Structures are given as structure tokens and as C-alpha cells.
Amino acid sequence: MVVTVGTCLLVAFGSTAAETNKSDPMTLKEAFKNDFLVGAAINLDQIYGRDSKGVPIIETQFNSISPENVLKWEVVHPKPDKFDFAASDAYVNFGERNHMAIIGHTLIWHSQTPAWVFEDVNGKPLDRQSLLNRMSNHIFTVVGRYKGRIKGWDVVNEALAEDGTLRESNWKKIIGDDFVEKAFEFAQAADPNAELYYNDFALENEAKRNGAIALIKKLQKQGVKITGVGLQGHYLLTEPGLKQVDETISTIAALGVKVMITELDVNVLPSPARAFLGADVSQRYEARAGLNPYTNGLPDSVQQQLARRYAGLFSIFLKHRGDISRVTFWGVSDGDSWLNDWPVRGRTSYPLLFDRNHAPKPAFHAVIESAVDTQASTSSGGELVEKAGAHKN
């Protein structure tokens, strides 16, 4: 009898999923409203409302935004005595107007940080204390300006090398290994209520992941506040494997921090080098034959492969919905993506859920469906338990 009830329920929920898929009444933020925030990184044209097709998508589909570039040091603090908050103010206003969770990206990074930051007036490398003063001034000024308005900050971005040791950045070379905890301490003092994140790519690779775990444990042992870890999620069609993503989320969540997927995209274009996984912005390759195969559109087989890849990734994210607080895409439509210019310039890339005309792709439907399927199985499972209990009584 219980089996019959269960079967009926599954059939009923199955048709709901099919209807949803046909007419798409559901948006990303609705689909995952009981699971995690769904965000997008937004660019200048979107912040200033010039992207008339992109903005409505951001406003209807997403409940969180990240700044693709406008809160990076080179934009917000271009000269020692000059801060420029024009674009970041507009970014924060955009998020507030739309009642979104507004993310700050990023305070301390080796990239998109001007050379002067690490030099004295004579162009010589700065000493530790002077660089700490500069770091503190930057963090207090930027975080302080948006205190209570920016929900969480990528305090330190990409501090780790691929082998799990600290990257030989200017931050590490001049300040020493403790530059990471100093940055978190300054950020906490600047806005005690803000969430504070460590963000990096390729933590799915074991050596680097172990480095991240050691780093987080060290911060926790020292009593430094760290709220969450961002897995950037710059993925390929087949790499990393779902099992690797699954294990990465589990092991990081086990540290007692939130996990976020912060810069999700799936690159369908050929890799210029073997086993090329990651997002090291300094790695660049020359364009050559074969590296840009889809200039006239994405073949249907690859389009479907991308949809299946996204469905697989979201099945893992949903499995961990108790630990994942946000999934953010790095861009809105394929035309926006940084992957059109990295790691090879001038390619035609297809990594996101909306195409160049801002139409939802099969990958979009696959992502929505993953949420509907999960809701259906959770609800029918719940019903079954209830009915079974009732039957017993």
C-alpha cells in the first residue's frame, strides 16, 4: 500500500517537473530559494544600467551580486592617496535597489593590485610594517565605507600555490606568512558583522586543498574569524570530476565554515595546455589553430554536454545544500564572460547559462530541473515517511 502511495506521488511530481521545464516560469533564485543564494558577477555596463538585456536577467534571476572588477584594488584605490568609489558605490546601490546579498571581491590579491602598493617613494620594495599599514588603511577604508551594506568579503584571494604552499606573492614576500591572518583581522575590525571568506581556485586538487585546510585550521586555532571558503568553480566539461567536487565540499564544510561556489563557469573550449585546470590570470597562451572552434555557434552535441555537466554539478551542490550558502556565476551571458579572453585572447566562449542573445540555454533548463527534481524527491520522500507512519498507527 505504501509503495502504491509512493508511486502515485512520484508520477504527480514527475509531471510538475515536465511542466516547469516547458514554460520556464521558474527563475534561478526561486528554484533554489530553500537551498542557497544564486548570484552573478556583474560588470560596469550592468552596474550603470547600460546593458539593457543583461540587467533584467540579473534582476529577475539572481538574489546576490559580486563585482567582477570594481572592488579590486587597482579600481578602488588607484594611487596611494586616491580612492575612487564611483563604480563601487553604483554597484552597492544596484544591489540595495534589488534587495540582493551584496558581495565584496576582493581585498587582498596578488593580481589587479598596482605595483606602487609594494614600493616606497623611491620604487624600492616596502618594509613589512609599511606594507601592513598600507593593507590596514586599504581594508579599513574600503570595508568601512560599505559597513553593514556588503554582506561578505573575499578577504584574501588565491593565496595558495598549486602544491598547497603559500604563493610567492609580494604580500607573502614582504609581510611573511601571517599576511593572511592580518588581512582577516583588519577586515573583522572594520566591519565586525560582515562575513569573511577565503577564496581560491582548483581546491579540488588534493595538494592545494590540503594547503587550504591547513591555512583555515591555522586561522581558526588563532581565533581569527573566517566565515566561509569560496571555491571559485572555474571548471571544464570533464574536469574536475564530480566525485572530486563532492569530496572538496565535504572536507571543507567539515571545518565548520560555509562553502560557496563563487565564480562558476564551465569552459567548453579546448585547453591550450595539458591538464589545464584553474584560473591563474597570469597564465596566457597565444591563439593558434584549433583553439577557437565554435565561432559560428556551439554544436548541439556540445550544448547538450554542457547542460549535462551543469546538471551534474548542481546535483552535487544540492546534495550539500546544508553547507553551501551561495552559488555565483562569473558573468550573466556568454558574451560577458572573461573566458572569451582568458587564457587565450579573442575566443568565442560558451560557459554560462544565457547565450549571447541573452536567451536561456539548455544548461539553464538543466539547472532549474535539478532543483525541481530535488524538491520532488525530498517532498515525496517526506510524504512516504508520513504515510508509512500513519499506516502503522
Residue keyed to cell 560558451: 350
State yes or no: residue 232 binds ligand XIL (CB under 6 A): yes
State yes or no: residue 352 binds ligand XIL (CB under 6 A): no
165 backbone dihedrals φ, ψ, rounded to 5°: -85, 170
Q: How many of the chain's residues bind ligand XIL (CB under 6 A)? A: 8
Q: Which residues contact 237 (CB under 8 A, 6 or more apart)?
A: 266, 267, 268, 302, 305, 306, 309
Considering only residues 243 to 272 of the shown chain, the ones binding ligand XIL according to CB under 6 A are 263
Single-letter amino acid code for the residue at 219: L
State yes or no: residue 279 binds ligand XIL (CB under 6 A): yes
CB-CB contact of 260 with 327 (8 Å): yes
State yes or no: residue 68 binds ligand XIL (CB under 6 A): yes
State yes or no: residue 157 binds ligand XIL (CB under 6 A): yes
CB-CB contact of 103 with 328 (8 Å): yes
Q: Which is nearer to ligand XIL, 117 or 279 (CB)?
A: 279
181 given a catalytic annotation: no
Cβ 232 to ligand XIL shortest distance, Å: 6
Single-letter amino acid code for the residue at 269: L
Q: Which is nearer to ligand XIL, 69 or 267 (CB)?
A: 69
Cβ 105 to ligand XIL shortest distance, Å: 6
Closest CA relative to residue 347, chosen from 294, 284, 282, 275: 294
Which one from 185, 204, 263, 369 is the annotated catalytic residue?
263
State yes or no: residue 26 binds ligand XIL (CB under 6 A): no
Closest CA relative to residue 328, chosen from 174, 152, 178, 79: 152
State yes or no: residue 281 binds ligand XIL (CB under 6 A): yes
Report the residue closest to ligand XIL, judged by CB.
338
State yes or no: residue 338 binds ligand XIL (CB under 6 A): yes
Taking each helix axis from N to C end, the angle separating 2-23 and 362-392, rounded to the nearest 10 degrees, works out to 160
119 given a catalytic annotation: no
State yes or no: residue 169 binds ligand XIL (CB under 6 A): no
d(Cα 302, Cα 355) in Å, to the nearest integer? 14
- Tell me the catalytic residues: 158, 263
Task: List residues binding ligand XIL (CB under 6 A).
Answer: 68-69, 157, 232, 263, 279, 281, 338
